[in-house]
Amino acid sequence: MTEKPYEDIPGTFVFDADRSREGYWLNQFCISLRLEKNRQAFRDDPEAHMSRFAMSEEQKQAVRDRDWNRLLELGGNIYYTSKLAAFDGIVFQDLAAMMSHMSRDDYRKMMVDGGRPIEGNRYKSEWEKK
Amino acid sequence: MTEKPYEDIPGTFVFDADRSREGYWLNQFCISLRLEKNRQAFRDDPEAHMSRFAMSEEQKQAVRDRDWNRLLELGGNIYYTSKLAAFDGIVFQDLAAMMSHMSRDDYRKMMVDGGRPIEGNRYKSEWEKK
Amino acid sequence: MARITAGIACSHVPAIGVAMDKGITDEPYWQPVFKGFEFSRKWNEENKPDVVFLVYNDHCTAFDSSIIPTFAIGCAAEFTPADEGFGPRPVPVVKGHQKLASHIAQSVILDEFDLTIMNEMEVDHGLTVPLSVMYGDRKPGDDWGTLVIPLAVNVVQYPAPTANRCYNLGKAIRRAIDSYPEDLNVHIYGTGGMSHQLQSERAGLINAEWDQNFMDMLVNEPDKARQIDHIEFLRETGSEGIEMVMWLVMRGALDEKVTEVHRHYHVPASNTAVGHLILENHG
Amino acid sequence: MARITAGIACSHVPAIGVAMDKGITDEPYWQPVFKGFEFSRKWNEENKPDVVFLVYNDHCTAFDSSIIPTFAIGCAAEFTPADEGFGPRPVPVVKGHQKLASHIAQSVILDEFDLTIMNEMEVDHGLTVPLSVMYGDRKPGDDWGTLVIPLAVNVVQYPAPTANRCYNLGKAIRRAIDSYPEDLNVHIYGTGGMSHQLQSERAGLINAEWDQNFMDMLVNEPDKARQIDHIEFLRETGSEGIEMVMWLVMRGALDEKVTEVHRHYHVPASNTAVGHLILENHG
Ligand SMILES: [Fe+3]
Ligand SMILES: [Fe+3]
């Protein structure tokens, strides 16, 4: 209902109220993994632990698939979904590589060389031209 | 450390940060009685339930004594302490009567007649003259 | 476009809820209190809002001492009536308007009000009693007949937000609602008050003259009303009279000039002076 | 009287904490990051504050989705480092200054900032990494060497408070600290940033030129810096670059003119551009 001036930024989900509402239980599931007792429960029986949170079937499937971008698309926020990644032993930089479809080494090299440049990455229109 | 312009109001504890800090565990104890399982625990073993909260011995004694004004003096807030009164089956109006040292009927009559008047009740100095 | 058509001020004395829940509103003690609500219920039926934006305070129910937000807006799908120590009130679950609530939250934060967003929250008598006043008897399975966006204001731990801040928040809420594209009739409630002190040796304080002046000022000279400072509320209207800052949020959200279509004032309900206003926007 | 003598800006990249906790700060990857902190630790030793007012954000650790305060001030006696998913950081418990924290909370609320008061709160890397940067290695049984008042800012769910609002909050914090009667040397930290995006296909975005301009502007033209809007932060500095609004709180609490005694900028630490400033008040 509200104008979203940030919708034209490429490769970016701005976590606003609409996303927050959609992702509510997905994010609450992810943050549950902050505590060891919940990590143990998820290790022991992933489906049982997931079922404690009112996630949609799509969200559950994205968790099963560890489809990191899909999780964001379905309302997940990176600070929550990264707790699922931490559960899997994935460090943040490798998670970032996966989300941007790069190999671990290529991503790491890109960062050491100064990061992903801003030129060409400000507007969706710039990506569509590629 | 902060000026308190409200300290000259008679018969009144303004629940500020200093009181809140002092009364923290007392108030947390009182609010625990909001839930039936805690009310049952307090019914079953008052001392054991109280010991779950880091109250001072003075605060615990004021709870045991149901010394309603003392509870406020020790950092309790009326919305918390009234939950202890509710536990005892005391309605709010009767609690107010007790705190202002009036019989139930006298207090009730005072209210029906228009309440405690503001005249003579604005400043501590007015009470000291009495 | 969404628009605010009216503002309602209303004390939220728990005993009013208890009297309704026990069905004793015809007793001589309660009859004059409820007599003054008869017009309101009829008026409310004739001016049905789609959404009520309800400004109230939590009385150490949903919030314990661990966290004290100055302004907390409820963005959840629903809000369950809380157990305040003697079982929850037998009234319906309160349904929210999530999209409008989020829109208001976003707009008001960008307008530089520092809200806390609540995505789960129980609600106490501060919210349910004014609904009972306006909507009459409703049982747990019923519908309240309106969606509700709760705004909980800290008035328990000193300092509450100033009257001026509350008034300006009302203005920001108005701008937010005015910019919402869906056609919605919105009422805004300011609850709590009027003069009362629930604690210690000055318990039972009532200042009827002050209360009536405040209502006059709120209706006709809100720029004066918003300058009342905390010490005046505390001294003149009792330690719990500070709840009246919440009436300023309601008033700020209305037009500069409003029509007072109803006023009701009665002492006492339990320990409290009951005050009630219905103000219509001209817009 | 209490006085703010310096402001420190500092990224709070979790990997910086991990590098210290694992003792790998001499590795070629980390050496240039930590090289830039050598001056800071020496300076900090020579300018020891009694209290650090630390502006940071919680990364979905102490606050889950159920409650999202815009500004939450920590008034507890102590704050425990949180388990963020792989066990808590092996660093000391953070001790608060309850009286000063409450004084600031009261003053700032009466100044019409709508704080949430936290009387219990765990703290994550957003708070502990800047302390590690300035105080060096400390083990769980140690003392941090300072008392800390945490201020958690929502930068996770859009909208964060505006840069302008943050700057003005800094001014209000300054007024509050200036009016505290005890002699205390206070440092204020603005943490987070600089450019970084942790999510989705644009992850790894860095905008070094923007970052350097921002530091110049923050130091010398804060009235310009506080006009930067959310869309510029999001577009130019990545979705997580919005954390830089917290640097504005720090800057608002300082004098109009400050001396930049140290600047450090390095890319990368993990996914992030590391930025760091030490600014001294002339007062
Ligand atoms: Fe109330
Ligand atoms: Fe951060």
Q: Which amino acid is at D237?
A: T
pLDDT of residue D13: 97
Q: Which ligand is nearest to the CA of C129?
A: 1
CA trace torsion A78, A116, D272, D71 (10° rounding): -50
Which of D157, D200, D268 is nearest residue A115 as measured by Cβ atoms? D268
- Cβ–Cβ < 8 Å for C138, C144: yes
Q: Where do the domains of chain B lie?
A: 8-129
Q: Which ligand is nearest to the CA of D125?
A: 2
Take residue A2 and report the two structure tokens written for it: 């509200």
pLDDT at residue C124 greater than cutoff 70: yes
pLDDT at residue B2 greater than cutoff 60: no
- Cβ–Cβ < 8 Å for C61, C137: no
**How many angstroms separate the alpha carbon of residue D241 from the centre of ligand 2?**
9
CA-to-CA dists, residue A86 to A39, B60, D48, D86, D187, angstroms: 10, 44, 36, 7, 34
pLDDT at residue D191 greater than cutoff 50: yes
Q: How confident is the model at residue B1 (pLDDT cuts 50, 70, 90)?
A: very low
Spell out which residues have Cβ within 5 A of ligand 2, the ion. Answer: D 192
β-bridge pairing D185-191 and C258-269: unpaired
pLDDT at residue A1 greater than cutoff 50: no
Chain D interface, mutation test: which of B6, B14, B16, B21, most D Cβ atoms within 10 Å?
B21
Q: Report the DSSP beta bridge partners of residue C78.
A: C95
Q: Which ligand is nearest to the CA of D128?
A: 2
Share of chain C above pLDDT 70, in %: 100
The per-residue pLDDT for range C81-104, each reduced to its tens digit, is: 999 988 899 999 999 999 999 999
Q: Is B92 helix (H, G, I), strand (E, B) or coil?
A: helix
The per-residue pLDDT for range B43-94, each reduced to its tens digit, is: 999 999 999 999 999 999 999 999 999 999 999 999 999 999 999 999 999 9
Nearest to C106 by CA among C153, C50, C151, C172: C172
HEC profile of chain D: CCEEEEEEEECCCHHHHHHHHHCCCCCCCCHHHHHHHHHHHHHHHHCCCCEEEEEECCCCCCCCCCEEECEEEECCCEECECECCCCECCCCCEECCHHHHHHHHHHHHHCCCCCEEECCCCECHHHHHHHHHHHCCCCCCCCCCCEEEEEEECCCCCCCCCHHHHHHHHHHHHHHHHCCCCCCEEEEEEECCCCECCCHHHCCECCHHHHHHHHHHHHHCHHHHCCCCHHHHHHHHCCCHHHHHHHHHHHHCCCCCEEEEEEEEEEEECCEEEEEEEEEECC
pLDDT of residue C282: 86
What does pLDDT average to over chain D?
A: 97
Render C91-124 in DSSP notation, one character per residue. -PPEEP-HHHHHHHHHHHHHTT---EEESS--B-
Residue D105 touches partner B, C-beta closer than 8 Å = yes
Share of chain B above pLDDT 90, in %: 96
Which of C197, C230, C268 is nearest residue B12 as measured by Cβ atoms? C197
Which of D105, D180, D182 is nearest residue B17 as measured by Cβ atoms? D105
Share of chain B above pLDDT 70, in %: 98
Residue A125 touches partner C, C-beta closer than 8 Å = no
What does pLDDT average to over chain C?
A: 97
pLDDT of residue D55: 98
CA distance A76 to B16: 39
pLDDT of residue D283: 67
Q: How confident is the model at residue A50 (pLDDT cuts 50, 70, 90)?
A: very high
* CATH superfamily of the B8-129 domain: Dioxygenase LigAB, LigA subunit (1.10.700.10)
- Cβ–Cβ < 8 Å for B68, B98: yes
DSSP designation for C159? P
Cβ-based contacts of B24 with chain D (< 8 Å): 119
Task: Provide ipTM, 2 decimals.
Answer: 0.97
What does pLDDT average to over chain B?
A: 96
Average pLDDT over residues D243-248: 98
Residue A112 touches partner C, C-beta closer than 8 Å = no
Contacts of residue B66, defined as CB under 8 A and 6 or more positions apart, other chains included, come to B84, B88
CA distance C102 to D236: 26
With CB atoms and an 8 Å threshold, state whether B2 touches D107.
yes
Residue C199 touches partner B, C-beta closer than 8 Å = yes
**How many angstroms separate the alpha carbon of residue C84 from the centre of ligand 1?**
13
Take residue D32 and report the two structure tokens written for it: 């240039």
Take residue A81 and report the two structure tokens written for it: 């979904």
Residue A7 touches partner C, C-beta closer than 8 Å = no
DSSP designation for B83? H
With CB atoms and an 8 Å threshold, state whether D83 touches A35.
yes
pLDDT at residue C283 greater than cutoff 70: no
pLDDT of residue A122: 98
**Nearest CA of chain D to the CA of A106: how many Å?**
12
Nearest to D149 by CA among D106, D112, D95: D95
pLDDT at residue C240 greater than cutoff 80: yes
With CB atoms and an 8 Å threshold, state whether D120 touches C70.
no
Q: Which residues of C belong to the active site?
A: 125, 196
pTM of the model: 0.98
With CB atoms and an 8 Å threshold, state whether C15 touches B93.
yes
Take residue D193 and report the two structure tokens written for it: 């940033």
- Please report, in angstroms and rounded to a whole number, the separation of the first and last CA atoms in chain A: 31
Q: How confident is the model at residue A129 (pLDDT cuts 50, 70, 90)?
A: confident
**How many angstroms separate the alpha carbon of residue D208 from the centre of ligand 1?**
53
**How many angstroms separate the alpha carbon of residue C255 from the centre of ligand 1?**
26
Residue of chain B with shortest Cα separation from D179: B2
The per-residue pLDDT for range C154-167, each reduced to its tens digit, is: 999 999 999 999 99
Residue with tokens 């009246």: C244
Contacts of residue D199, defined as CB under 8 A and 6 or more positions apart, other chains included, come to A12, A13, A72, A78, A96, A99, D239, D240
Which of A6, A78, A80 is nearest residue D234 as measured by Cβ atoms? A6
Residue D26 touches partner A, C-beta closer than 8 Å = no
The per-residue pLDDT for range D259-273, each reduced to its tens digit, is: 999 999 999 999 999
